[in-house]
Chains A and B, each alone.
Chain A
Amino acid sequence: MANFGGHSATAYPIGASGDTRPLRTIRSAPESAPSLMIGNPGALTYDSKREEILVPN
């Protein structure tokens, strides 16, 4: 299963149901590393007051 927000892919048993742990996780960084949560960024704007970049997902 692809995980857009966590930048990972997780594998579950075929009969998995409910709150089930994945069998394994593929991720491009250690699990503790925060994800940027950017997915398919089609726009952005710069908040000049806070000096922040806003990216809708």
Chain B
Amino acid sequence: MLGRTMHGIDYDERRDEIVVPQQFGQAILIFKGSAAGETRPVRVIQGSRTMLTALDRLAVDSVNGEIYVPEGDRVLVFDLQASGNVAPKRVLGGPETGFTAAGSVAIDATRNIIVVGAEARSADGRGLPQLAIFDRTAAGNVKPRRVITGVNSRLNDTGNIRIYPEGGLVFTTQQTGYVAVWSLEDAGDVPPRYTVGGPNGLLQKPRGLDLDPRHNAVIVSDKQLNAVLTYEMPQLFQPITSQAAK
């Protein structure tokens, strides 16, 4: 049931499950973590009630048992145990949210926030890329808590997003060739605090992204290089409590 176009994947460590979007089938597939070979998914979310149309990426909130799916001008939230033709439990979307073209999302269950990678709504339809930060349980037509956007932010077409809650950092792949890192407290037109792999480095078209804090690793897949690269960045994996002690 897997398809040719899979731009997202997430692993749920608590339940040992792999969650994958299936764009052509307008579905979310959940596999056992040990799945290999020709294996059926253990659950499939699919059907007219799901509101899934062209899902590209998704994110799992292991702590609260939810799946987040950015879909254009809204973010759909499903129960992680949901199966079949079920409606999302929450939908974030509307003019007050300020975003459209939502393509990625990440959850910080510690701070109870989500970060949505999208574009700002604009009359001419040419919105600036932005990272919009909402309350985790935000639903309906609500304003974000804060937004990172602007020329100085150097945000372009944002790819996958990951959060390192212990350090209060949000990581995003920037398709111009690097991983950008901001503080979760940042707002407005601010440059990234750190960059990984570029600009003008080895990365060319980074897309996939994940973090392995135990090994101080930032893991990136690059579409142009056709490769997976692992950067050891101990300076980025400093819990805030140890930063304060210095």
On A, residues with C-beta under 8 Å from B are 38-50, 53-57
Contact = CB atoms under 8 A, between A and B. Distances in A.
A49 B11 CA distance: 10
Interface of B: 2, 5-11, 13, 16, 18, 20, 33, 57, 160, 207-212, 214, 219-223, 226-228, 230
Nearest to B5: A42
Given A38-B227, A48-B212, 9 more contacts: A38-B228, A41-B221, A43-B207, A44-B220, A45-B11, A47-B33, A48-B214, A49-B16, A57-B6
Contacts of A38: 221, 226-228
A56 B227 contact: no
Nearest to B222: A41
A50 B16 CA distance: 10
Nearest to B227: A38
B219 A43 contact: no
B13 A49 contact: yes
A46 B210 contact: yes
Given A54-B9, A55-B221, A44 B33 contact: no
Interface of B (DSSP majority class): strand
Contacts of A40: 223, 226
A43 B8 contact: yes
B219 A44 contact: yes
Contacts of B16: 49
Contact of B11 (A41, A42, A54, A57): A54
B18 A42 contact: no
A43 B212 contact: no
A45 B6 CA distance: 12
A47 B223 CA distance: 21
Nearest first, the 3 closest Cβ-Cβ pairs linking A and B are A44-B208, A56-B6, A41-B221
A33 to B, nearest CB: 16
A43 to B, nearest CB: 4
Contact of A50 (B2, B33, B211): B33
Contact of A44 (B9, B13, B214, B226): B9
A55 B10 CA distance: 10
Nearest to B8: A43
B228 A43 contact: no
B228 A41 contact: yes
B11 A46 contact: yes
A28 to B, nearest CB: 11
B221 A43 contact: yes
Given A48-B212, A56-B2, A56-B9, A43 B160 contact: yes
